[in-house]
Amino acid sequence: MLKIENISKTFNKGSINENTALKSVSLKMERGEFITVIGSNGAGKSTLLNAIAGNFPVDCGKIIIDNKDVTKFPQHKRANFISRVFQDPMSGTAASMKIEENLVMALKRGEKRRLRWAIKQRERTFFCEELKKLDLGLEDRLSARVSLLSGGQRQALTLLMATFKEPKLLLLDEHTAALDPKTAEKVLNLTCNVAEATHQTTIMITHNLEHALSVGNRTIMMHEGNIILDIKGEERKNVKIAQLMKMFEQASGANLNTDRMLFS
């Protein structure tokens, strides 16, 4: 499904701020796989996701999705088959526009946008059904502006927008990190439900080691721009959080220094 071959990325090349974020990373992903990505700050997790989504051109290497080389595709073209949910709940929706307007923009992802009245009754009915699944009471507020929603509601909405067109690949960049624990749990449950229901191929970055093992069916660990651990199947089932931390220390030769990982 997704094949990444030796991609590298160095920011600010040739300056004192030179920063190699990805060092010849390769990754192969099958359809229906749900990868959770862990690693300390600056490990290159977000850079990897941004490289796949096309935020910037990679220095070298290839990104192939469904046997199609998308390395040279600009971001908006890749968006036709890649969906994203960002860490910041404000990033995924247009605040000054109505809920239904946001939804209809997501519904037209991958299609040509025309000079055609955007929202008709047929779309409204569909949105109502979809929003009911979120169980947040949003189905009665289709014409409310998104700026009136809470961060959690906005993130749930973004998740819905990212998935109801069933993208080939779903990228989640710590999408629950900015939410309060209860809302975060809810959004994560939603994520799992969606992923299971449609066998959605997904990559999720998380700082929560428990989630990293309980959610999805494969876990990779990154350190200094490399993938240092890749577990799935039986091997993953038998791993405990303490072991995961030990593995990290062994593989990277460094102490896992994030309190955030320990306490979350």
Partner 1 sequence: MSSIVILGTLEQGLMYSLMVLGVYLSFRILNYADLTADSSFTLGAATAASLITSGFNPWLATLIAFFAGCLAGTFTGILHTKFKITPLLSGILTMIALYSINLRVMGKANISLLRMRTIFSDFSTFTHMEEYSVIILSIITVSIIGLIIYFFLETELGLALRATGDNEIMIRSQGVNTDIMKISGLAISNGLIAFSGSYVAQNQLFADVSMGIGIIVIGLASVIIGEVLIGTSSIGRTVLAVLCGGVIYRIIIAIVLQLGLRATDLKLITALIVIIALISPQIKNKLTPIYEKIQNKLTPLHKEKDKE
13, 77, 199, 246: which one binds partner 1 (CB under 8 A): 77
Task: Give dist(CA 220, CA 231) in Å, integer.
Answer: 6
Is 8:59 a contact under the CB 8 Å cutoff?
Answer: yes
Inter-helix orientation angle 151-163/99-107, to 10°? 30
- Return the CA Rg of the chain: 19
Nearer to partner 1, 46 or 219 (CB): 46
Is 142:98 a contact under the CB 8 Å cutoff?
Answer: yes
Q: Which two tokens stand for residue 150?
A: 């809470």
1, 64, 105, 228: which one binds partner 1 (CB under 8 A): 105
b/e for 1-16, b at 16 or more Cβ within 10 A? Answer: ebebbebbbeeeeeee
Residue closest to 170 by CA, chosen among 262, 37, 19: 37
Q: Which two tokens stand for residue 196?
A: 């299971």
1, 79, 177, 239: which one binds partner 1 (CB under 8 A): 79
Is 109:195 a contact under the CB 8 Å cutoff?
Answer: no
**Which segment (12-20, 62-70, 86-94, 204-212) binds partner 1 by CB under 8 A?**
86-94
115 lies in the binding site for partner 1 (CB under 8 A):
yes
67, 96, 121, 238: which one binds partner 1 (CB under 8 A): 96
Map the footprint of partner 1 across residues 122-141, applying CB under 8 A.
none
Min dist CB 117 to partner 1, Å, is 6
116 lies in the binding site for partner 1 (CB under 8 A):
yes
Min dist CB 130 to partner 1, Å, is 16
113, 122, 234, 238: which one binds partner 1 (CB under 8 A): 113
**Which segment (20-28, 113-121, 188-196, 203-211) binds partner 1 by CB under 8 A?**
113-121
60, 118, 148, 197: which one binds partner 1 (CB under 8 A): 118
> CB neighbours (10 Å) of residue 141?
17
Q: Which residues bind partner 1 (CB under 8 A)?
A: 53, 74-77, 79-80, 83-84, 86, 90-97, 101-102, 104-106, 108-110, 113-119, 161
